[in-house]
């Protein structure tokens, strides 16, 4: 009989031990109270917490605990409330110390170039430029972003920018329209060209994947991605025979829509950028086969 009792006790002890081990490994879900002199420290667990305060009172010669206070501390839900104003680049925003900060909206200015081939950085032989006077500038109208699971290091930025780009042609040349094409034309003894340029305005929509890391008071960042470009108000200008500036062509068979590759890097609110078009500036067989690219500095707001 004693042997049976001992076996039964051992069998009951095994699941009890397992339950105790699970209780020790499970994270503490209840609030804990710690007293330090006249202070009471309550460390909240998971979920809402109800607090009741009782006072000992003497009634009919007996001590009773009478409730004098009850309160409920709700579990805090941390949510970012974004409005339309958060998408505007010039509206001041309150930011947490380690919050994700997109680098998409702001002002930018840089040099414009033309290359003979995609991802080539040499000067084009098909359309020579005055590099010091070929430039672009622009600013962002709207910008929005999404960071992954509130991770302060990674996010996606989306923006809309508007700006101006100019290609200054070097020497006695001009870009003219002839027989349904844009031709890079040299001057002669009768007609000379000077200060010629091709310019257009643009809307751009960048979609950028960004990584950032706080270093000191600001963040180091890098982002890259595709950028969709809509070109409008394209014109070609020149000074003919030393006269006043004259419009020598409009439209110039420039591609109305382009797709760029954009990469940016910087620290804090200052950065540099490189933008490269994935295909030629002019429509097929309608002008010189050149690919535009640009690089410069940006101030992010």
Q: Choose from 1-10, 25-34, 170-179 the range with maximum mean pLDDT.
A: 170-179
Q: Is residue 212 part of a domain?
A: yes
pTM over cut 0.95:
no
Q: Is residue 140 part of a domain?
A: yes
Quote the pLDDT of residue 77: 46
Q: Is residue 72 part of a domain?
A: no
pLDDT-derived band at 175 (thresholds 50, 70, 90) equals: very high
Q: Is residue 40 part of a domain?
A: no
Quote the pLDDT of residue 75: 56
Residue-by-residue DSSP string for 47-61: S-EEEEEEEEEEETT
The total domain count for the chain is: 1
Domain hosting residue 215, numbered range: 84-300
- CATH number for 120: 2.40.160.20
Q: Is residue 33 part of a domain?
A: no
Q: Helix, strand, or coil here: 163?
A: strand
Q: Is residue 214 part of a domain?
A: yes
Conformational region of residue 252, where left means phi above 0, alpha means psi within -120 to 50, and beta covers everything else: left
pLDDT, tens only, 28-72: 555 666 665 555 666 666 666 777 777 777 777 777 777 777 766
pLDDT, tens only, 63-105: 777 777 776 665 554 444 555 445 455 445 555 556 888 898 7
Q: Is residue 251 part of a domain?
A: yes
């Amino acid at each position: 009989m004693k042997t049976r009792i001992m076996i039964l006790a051992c069998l009951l002890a095994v699941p009890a031990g397992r339950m105790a081990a699970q209780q020790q490994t499970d994270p503490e879900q209840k609030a804990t109270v710690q007293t330090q002199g006249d202070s009471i420290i309550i460390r909240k667990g998971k979920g809402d917490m109800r607090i009741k305060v009782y006072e000992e009172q003497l009634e009919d010669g007996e001590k009773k605990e009478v409730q004098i206070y009850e309160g409920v501390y709700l579990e805090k839900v941390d949510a970012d409330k974004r409005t339309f104003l958060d998408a505007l680049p010039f509206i001041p925003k309150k930011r947490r110390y380690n919050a994700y900060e997109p680098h998409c909206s702001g002002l930018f200015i840089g040099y414009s170039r033309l290359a003979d081939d995609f991802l080539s950085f040499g000067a084009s032989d098909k359309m020579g430029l005055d590099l010091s006077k070929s430039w672009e500038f622009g600013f962002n109208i709207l910008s929005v972003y999404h960071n992954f699971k509130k991770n302060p290091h990674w996010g996606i930025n989306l923006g809309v920018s508007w700006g101006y780009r100019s290609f200054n042609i070097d020497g006695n040349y001009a870009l003219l329209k002839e027989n349904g094409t844009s031709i890079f034309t040299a001057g002669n003894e009768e007609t000379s060209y000077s200060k010629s340029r091709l310019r257009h305005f643009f809307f751009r929509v960048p979609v950028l994947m960004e990584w950032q890391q706080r270093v000191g008071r600001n963040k180091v960042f890098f982002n890259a991605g595709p950028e969709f470009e809509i070109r409008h108000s394209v014109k070609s200008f020149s000074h003919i025979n030393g006269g006043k500036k004259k419009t020598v062509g409009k439209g110039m068979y420039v591609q109305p829509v382009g797709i760029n590759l954009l990469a940016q890097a910087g620290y804090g609110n200052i950065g540099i950028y490189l933008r490269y078009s994935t295909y030629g500036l002019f429509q097929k067989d309608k002008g010189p086969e050149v690919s535009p690219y640009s690089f410069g500095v940006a101030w992010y707001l």
